[in-house]
Amino acid sequence: MGALGGGGYRDHLYIALPLLAWVFWIPLKIWLDDDSISRPIENLRNLMLAAGGAAAALHFVPYTVWRIFVMHRQTEAAVENTRIAARRELRERCSEYLERLYAERMAPRLAAIGSLGALAREHPDEFHVEASVNLSALARHPLPPDPASNGAGGAEGGGRVGSPPDARASALMAVDLRKQLAGKGRSDLESGFVLDFTGADLAGVSFEGAPLACVVFDNAILQEADFRDANLARAQFAVANLTGANLPSANLEEAQLASAILKGAILERAVLAGATLGEADLKGTDLTGADLTGADLEQTSIAGARLAGVIGLTQRMLLGAKPSAPPSSLPPGLFWPFERDENDNWISSPR
């Protein structure tokens, strides 16, 4: 009975019943040749066949549905296992790149920067923030300068100041990843993450046209850096060194530039509306055509600065500036409110 027990017995029974009915129908028909008897018997045969077929159907339909369900679950499991394996492989790659990112030699570092950036581009949802955090950290903590080289990163572009190669490459990669998100209408700010280049040596780096809103550059070294046409709204540059930096047409709306050094910087047509420039050094800065509406110039040094065509500059704002030599130019209707006293010190003018 083992072979025919349980479901196996029922399977044979469902098949056997209609077959037996069909096999014994002929002798039964001969024996019961009378029409009055054969017709009910024929009806009985049809009923038995229908019952057998229904029984078989009732057995095989649930079985078929169950098999489809099992196959579907197996397919789902296979897909999930493949996804897990692929994700594990990506995590292993990421860990390898992060380890090499802090290698003791420059070549592996630069290679890891490129590999990590490529991984974050391919899988931004999973690796963008992690890659950006580590890239900005590397920009803040580059390799010490090679004693055999001249300066931290070596002079570039015919004697121009230059940042360390790993700091430069990691900062540019982090910004490039941000550009990729911005191109898709997204922002890393959605995750609560902000690029932080505090104290980084990024002298001479070109950030032209880059989306740098809210990025932190406090205490950063940014001499001759290029920020033309960049979006720096609400960016932080407290005590940053921007001597000779290029910022024409940059958006610095509500940027924090307190105590920043902007000597000789180019800020033509830059938007500085609502920016904090308290105690900043703007000596010789070119602000021609810039928008200073609502900016804070408290104790800001603007001696020799070019202020022709500046929008939003008021006499009250000039009164709050640091007493010093006058700007090289002022918009019509405004005057420099300071003059020298008998001790050659700059004081408020009585007029």
Which CATH number does 206-351 carry?
Answer: 2.160.20
Digit-coded pLDDT (tens) for 82-122? 666 667 787 898 999 999 999 999 999 999 999 999 999 99
The contacts of residue 165 (CB under 8 Å, 6+ apart) are: 106, 110, 142, 153, 154
Phi then psi for residue 15, to 5 deg, are -80, -40
Tally Cβ neighbours within 10 Å of residue 290. 30
CA distance 242 to 259: 11
CA distance 305 to 328: 6
Digit-coded pLDDT (tens) for 165-200? 999 999 999 999 999 988 777 777 777 789 999 999
Digit-coded pLDDT (tens) for 38-75? 556 566 566 666 555 555 555 556 767 766 766 767 67
pLDDT at 310 over 70: yes
E strand or H helix at 110, and its extent? helix 106-122
The contacts of residue 291 (CB under 8 Å, 6+ apart) are: 270, 271, 272, 273, 310, 311, 312
State residue 63's pLDDT score: 62
DSSP state, residue 347: E
CA distance 176 to 62: 57
- What are the Cα distances from residue 116, in Å, to 39, 90, 342? 85, 11, 63
